[in-house]
Structure 1
């Protein structure tokens, strides 16, 4: 669908794309290690699915590093000679990652047939992740700025196109889906907007759905939110009515979390919709998350929040207008880990059921109304 370098930024390559690609590896391998640990030793079919995804990520990592070794490092050595020690360090780190990857492949080959060595495989993936995190941090701090200064826009685009061309069409779809999942909307636009219109339409109409089905299989997720979606409008109306009549005494908590009413206009119709939503107080703001009870689909109320940027909330008998900021992935992960899960540990099950990253938004009061 899209390569690493299909957009430009002024007269320099858009090297911010590198952080997005790195984010895929930073998140994918820890997730796979967890999937391996949760795969029963009596489930070779399940192991085959997870191992296939592991192969995909390992192949992607190999292609990424090969592109750097063959195309980027030689040019930087030629054009930015004082950085020779940095490039040599990058090469050593690539070698270490390659050796760790080979060990993972060796263990995975046995595990996918008879998944009894899951703990050993997961530990090897953890070791690979540790090597990668150190390398990616180093590269982003010391090499990416050099790429921006010494690699041309045309070269940057060509490197990305060549690397992406090595994928099959099915693999390109998976790679695009993973990129969209880890990227912010702005970051995703760097990759998607330059595509021809027919391809963008195909991605929206078919690609996203096919990727969602694929990644659900990988994560072992089922659509537990289907019934909730069917009953949603009636449940919301009843819950909203009881909440308002009782000033939050009825329906004011859910699974130990406080509940607010969020009113936001529909992104297509403009008609206001009100939904009871669990929230968390955070430094004078409110955090809300689009769990949808573990549904594979992001809830409509959260999609509307994304589109409008403002909302009206009711907490007990107090009403406020709020500004909406949907958190980018890095901030979202930190807030999810450090704030939301400690207060609502059961939310981790929603993410596992949904097979998607649960989005988080910050609602900042604009003043009491």
Structure 2
């Protein structure tokens, strides 16, 4: 078993390299911890917190939309057992739980009462973490079995197409914000050289110039 930056344990890498998926899940958990910390410190209305929250929502929307459009349908076309079909039904149902919780946090933040945003953020964090753990434990092994490396690469291509060059300028620095040196090395190592150069010379510095969450919430 291998561990990630957050201390959760994951299966050893097989034929399919899920580094980007795990890194994305860690980034979502990271941002929700930062949100909770900011709310409890009375900083929910800070512009940096709101910017961090908007970035989180944007990345989560892309992540789940591309899964729903380009990962679960080809996997559903190949699974064979009723339990596997049921698992994919569960993935879609769990996705459907998230948007109302995002709206709930938005509404609570607008009101500004610390108790409301804290409870809403906690519910979102627990629901999203449970979904991601379920996905890692049961859905990703199905991806490896039925779609393999080629199918996973097709999913990655769909995300890159949805993000575009402009989206990548936010996505990669967001993904690697506060990541370990080892994870950063692994993620950047999967990119073509021009993208690595853009990340270091332009994307990461530009991302860092826009306050998100603030160091106090890290």
* Smaller-chain TM-score bracket: 0.7 to 0.9
- 1:197-212 to structure 2, matched below 5 A, reads 197-212=193-208
Secondary structure class of the residue paired with 2:168:
helix
Matched, 1:100 2:101: yes
Matched, 1:133 2:129: yes
How far did residue 63 of structure 1 move?
A: 1.6
Contact 2:48 2:214 in 1 (8 A): no
- 1:1-369 to structure 2, matched below 5 A, reads 12-40=15-43, 46=46, 48-82=47-81, 83-108=84-109, 110=110, 116-167=112-163, 171-214=167-210, 217-221=211-215, 352=216
Q: Which has the higher contact order (CA 8 A, sep 6+)?
A: 2
**Deviation readout 1:153-206 (Å, 9 max, x if unpaired):** 343223223324434756533321232235444433343224333332232233
Q: Which has the higher helix share?
A: 2
Say what the alpha-carbon RMSD is for the aligned residues: 2.7
**Deviation readout 1:96-142 (Å, 9 max, x if unpaired):** 1222122223334x25xxxx334312321111000011111111111
Contact 1:65 1:94 in 2 (8 A): yes
More deviation, 193-202/128-137: 193-202
Secondary structure class of the residue paired with 1:20:
helix
In our comparison, the structure showing a higher alpha carbon Rg is 1
- Give the distance between the partners of 2:160 and 2:183, measured in 1 at CA: 18
How far did residue 56 of structure 1 move?
A: 1.6
- Give the distance between the partners of 1:182 and 1:145, measured in 2 at CA: 28
**Structure 2 runs not aligned, ≥5 long:** 1-12
Q: Which has the higher strand share?
A: 1
Which structure 1 residue ranges, 4+ long, deviate > 4 Å from structure 2? 168-171
TM-score normalised to structure 2 length: 0.79
- Give the distance between the partners of 2:178 and 2:78, measured in 1 at CA: 33
Partner of residue 239, structure 1: none
TM-score normalised to structure 1 length: 0.49
**Structure 1 runs not aligned, ≥5 long:** 1-9, 222-351, 357-369
